Amino acid sequence: MIHHNKRFTAGLLIFICAFYTFLWTAPDAIAGHTSISREAVDFLTRTGQAMSEVAEVVKPSVVNISTVKTEQAGAPLSPFYDDPFFRKFFGDELQRQQPRERKSTSLGSGVIVSSDGYILTNNHVIQNADKIKVVLSDKREFIGKVIGNDPKTDLSVIKIDAEDLISLRLGNSDNLKVGALVLAVGNPFGLNQTITMGIVSAVGRANVGIADYEDFIQTDAAINPGNSGGALVNVKGELVGINTAIFSTTGGYQGIGFAIPSNMVKVVMNSLIKTGKVIRGWLGVSIQAITPELADQFKLEKDKGTLVADVIERSPAEEAGILRGDVILEFGGKKVDEPSILRNIVASTSPGKTIDVKVIRNGEYLTLSVMVGELGTDEKKTPATYKNALNGVTVQNLTSAIYNQLNIPEQLRGVVITDIERGSPSETALMRGDVLMEINRKAVANIDDYEVMVSQITSEEDVLLLVFRRGSTIFVTISAVE
């Protein structure tokens, strides 16, 4: 009896071992493939847990932004206004006398960058908004106040009346490498707190046509309408970019999104909070890329650097001794192999700061010291009341958008006429879109030059202008005020 019990016990142990071995291996046997190693499962589990932790840290700092805008409706109040027979009797005046307004809404995202309520977003998210509503991750709602806008980088800062908010720490976007893991956080299609993961596809993307100053991070993390103004973060939970735009033929995600790097964001944000505007550095050169053909002509070993095509008179570049034909290799110790890189570095440099510029001139390496100037404002100016022929003329500095829109040669300098008051002595001689290059044979580089020159013109003095108009340069004379 005891012998049989021992045999039974041994058999039972063998059965139990076999049963648990079956349970461990059966799923793989049934599935017909090699089992996933415990190490692989543990690694993926840890990776997923790490991403979840990053997401939990970031989500409270990303907000939903909704705006309301008032727009003038272009459509008539009644469909009968489009009927020729009806309009024959009542004319177009009836339609014009009954303007109609409509409210439009839009959605976007924002990032809390300070515990006392400063929030970063895109300029296009809040542009021309009558009302900005901010919804936090805990569902609290606030009305946002605009602190400053910068259309040139498509960034804005707004403020809500709140304290002890969870802000996101800004990381160093210069440390981002292609292939690095990133998370995009925002509110696509109004779906709050949506998180997508991807990698950095490229850095330093420029000439995309989104903003004047471009240095985009490209990512394949899914970005859709409503993500604009949201956060792009690294694996440390640091803000490395503000999601801005997508490349799409359908309006939805196609694997290419663009974010403004945090180092550019930091400069713009601090300037907007401090002064309400962005103060940028200015060198005073017209620049272009080095092609292989230009490298041969200028006897360069390789197509590296940025070619100076022109130097503006009395600019920081001219005072530093930079000449047309110089090839700028470094600015402040940073390589500038593309014009966009030089433009961004100069713009982010504080005016008044002295910087070493390394150039090649006729095969010789030179280091020049330049004191960076301040880039003039591009905003329209109210026409000053001058008692002379240019009274009532409003001008604006030339911008990249204006250069493209009016097809202005890159090397041309001046100010563009944006408005001419009715009754102005210049009303019949000048046009909107004219670029004033010279006043009485003196070059005009910007609004400051224009105001100084015009203020010195008397009412008895005729004015000779050099004007660029529709692809041609012409002289225009305006008689003295009678």
CA-based nearest residue to 114, from 186, 56, 169, 184: 169
Which tokens in the block code for residue 230? 């949201």
DSSP 3-state assignment of 45?
A: helix
Which tokens in the block code for residue 328? 């700028």
DSSP 3-state assignment of 337?
A: coil
How are beta strands 306-311 and 285-289 bridged, if at all?
antiparallel
Which tokens in the block code for residue 349? 């440099």
- The residues that bridge with 367 in the sheet, in sequence order, are 358
389 and 463 in contact (C-beta within 8 Å)?
Answer: yes
Number of Cβ within 10 Å of residue 150's Cβ equals 21
Q: Distance (Å, rounded) from C-alpha 163 to C-alpha 264? A: 26
DSSP 3-state assignment of 20?
A: helix
447-451 LR contacts (CB < 8 Å, sep 24+): 447/376, 447/377, 447/381, 447/395, 447/396, 447/397, 447/415, 448/376, 449/415, 450/395, 450/415, 451/384
Strand spans (E) along 130-267: 131-135, 141-143, 145-150, 155-159, 181-186, 194-205, 216-219, 231-233, 239-246, 257-261
| Angle CA 357–359–360, to nearest 5 | 170
- Would you name the residues annotated as active-site residues? 124, 154, 228
**CA 301 to chain CA centroid, nearest Å:** 34
Say how many residues make up the chain. Answer: 482
Q: Distance (Å, rounded) from C-alpha 242 to C-alpha 133? A: 19
Q: Which residues contact 83 (CB under 8 A, 6 or more apart)?
A: none
Farthest-apart Cα atoms in the chain, separation = 136
425 and 389 in contact (C-beta within 8 Å)?
Answer: yes
**Helices and strands, counts by H and E, the chain:** 11, 27
